């Protein structure tokens, strides 16, 4: 069928240099088994990449855009005709947001606070598209949401339903 000229991130993976998955966000529906297979395959491909190669890998009918930040690989799968250079900026912006929230973010932050990493991502991207281009507002929304979370006492006392 017709290929649309649409920016659509298919999925985002974060993994360590040993291939351990730290975050997976899928914007398409796939069986769990299939997702696992894809993750294994892609981790293998990217970990095998030579340092002096480009950040882009042709994979099936998609393109993988990846970049390593310290011990973490960030990998985005985009449509074949999408703007790869801009995707690199998207990845970089996400790292900046994490850094702003956690303060000098490192892999351990993502490991122990994975749910926050997801919250931040969901504040930045919806349905594979960037929702806000401001450096501050995504983090501010998360911080405000954090404030909304009940304290332990509040939590215990508030009725669930």
Partner 1 sequence: MPAPIRLRELIRTIRTARTQAEEREMIQKECAAIRSSFREEDNTYRCRNVAKLLYMHMLGYPAHFGQLECLKLIASQKFTDKRIGYLGAMLLLDERQDVHLLMTNCIKNDLNHSTQYVQGLALCTLGCMGSSEMCRDLAGEVEKLLKTSNSYLRKKAALCAVHVIRKVPELMEMFLPATKNLLNEKNHGVLHTSVVLLTEMCERSPDMLAHFRKNEKLVPQLVRILKNLIMSGYSPEHDVSGISDPFLQVRILRLLRILGRNDDDSSEAMNDILAQVATNTETSKNVGNAILYETVLTIMDIKSESGLRVLAINILGRFLLNNDKNIRYVALTSLLKTVQTDHNAVQRHRSTIVDCLKDLDVSIKRRAMELSFALVNGNNVRGMMKELLYFLDSCEPEFKADCASGIFLAAEKYAPSKRWHIDTIMRVLTTAGSYVRDDAVPNLIQLITNSVEMHAYTVQRLYKAILGDYSQQPLVQVASWCIGEYGDLLVSGQCEEEEPIQVTEDEVLDILESILISNMSASVTRGYALTAIMKLSTRFTCTVNRIKKVVSIYGSSIDVELQQRAVEYNALFKKYDHMRPALLERMPVMEKVTTNGPTEIVQTNGETEPAVLETKPPPSGLQPGSQANDLLDLLGGSDITPVIPTVPTSKPASAGGELLDLLGDLNLTGSPVPAPAPQISQPPFLLDGLPSQPLFNDIAAGIPSITAYNKNGLKIDFTFERSNTNPSVTVITIQASNSTELDMTDFVFQAAVPKTFQLQLLSPSSSVIPAFNSGTITQVIKVLNPQKQQLRMRIKLTYNHKGSAMQDLAEVNNFPPQSWQ
How far is Cα 9 from Cα 82, in angstroms, rounded to an integer? 9
Task: Name the segment binding partner 1 (CB under 8 A); options: 71-79, 82-90, 98-106.
Answer: 82-90
CB of 114 to partner 1, least distance (A): 6
How far is Cα 141 from Cα 46, in angstroms, rounded to an integer? 33
Task: Name the segment binding partner 1 (CB under 8 A); options: 69-77, 97-105, 107-115.
Answer: 107-115
- In the numeric block, the tokens 């975050």 are attached to 23
Q: Does 143 bind partner 1 (CB under 8 A)?
A: no
Among 57, 68, 99, 100, binds partner 1 (CB under 8 A): 57
How far is Cα 38 from Cα 160, in angstroms, rounded to an integer? 38
Site for partner 1 in 37-56 (CB under 8 A): 50, 52-56
Q: Does 34 bind partner 1 (CB under 8 A)?
A: no
End-to-end CA distance of the chain: 47
The number of beta carbons lying within 10 Å of the beta carbon of residue 2 is: 4
93, 156, 158 from 89: Cα distances, Å: 6, 43, 42
Q: Does 71 bind partner 1 (CB under 8 A)?
A: no
74 vs 123 by CB, closer to partner 1:
123
Among 17, 37, 70, 86, binds partner 1 (CB under 8 A): 86
139-144 contact pairs (CB < 8 A, 24+) = 139/97, 139/100, 139/101, 142/101, 142/116, 143/101
Q: Does 18 bind partner 1 (CB under 8 A)?
A: no
How many Å separate Cα 1 from the centre of its chain?
29
Residues near partner 1 (CB under 8 A): 4-7, 21-24, 26-27, 29, 31, 36, 50, 52-58, 83-86, 88-90, 93, 111-112, 114-115, 118-119, 122-123, 126-127, 129-137, 141, 144-145, 148-150, 155-156, 158-161
């Amino acid at each position: 069928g017709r290929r649309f000229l649409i920016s659509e991130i298919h999925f985002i993976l974060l993994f360590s240099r040993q291939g351990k998955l730290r975050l997976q966000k899928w914007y398409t529906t796939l069986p769990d088994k299939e997702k696992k297979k894809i993750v294994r395959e892609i981790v293998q491909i990217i970990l095998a990449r030579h340092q002096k190669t480009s950040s882009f890998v042709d994979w099936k009918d998609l393109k993988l855009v990846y970049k390593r930040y310290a011990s973490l690989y960030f990998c985005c799968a985009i449509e074949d005709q999408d703007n790869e250079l801009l995707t690199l900026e998207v990845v970089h912006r996400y790292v900046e947001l994490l850094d702003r929230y956690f303060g000098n973010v490192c892999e351990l932050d993502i490991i122990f606070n994975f749910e926050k990493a997801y919250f931040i991502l969901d504040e930045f991207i919806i349905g594979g598209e960037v929702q806000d281009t401001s450096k501050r507002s995504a983090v501010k929304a998360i911080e405000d949401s954090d404030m909304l979370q009940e304290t332990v006492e509040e939590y215990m006392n508030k009725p669930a339903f």
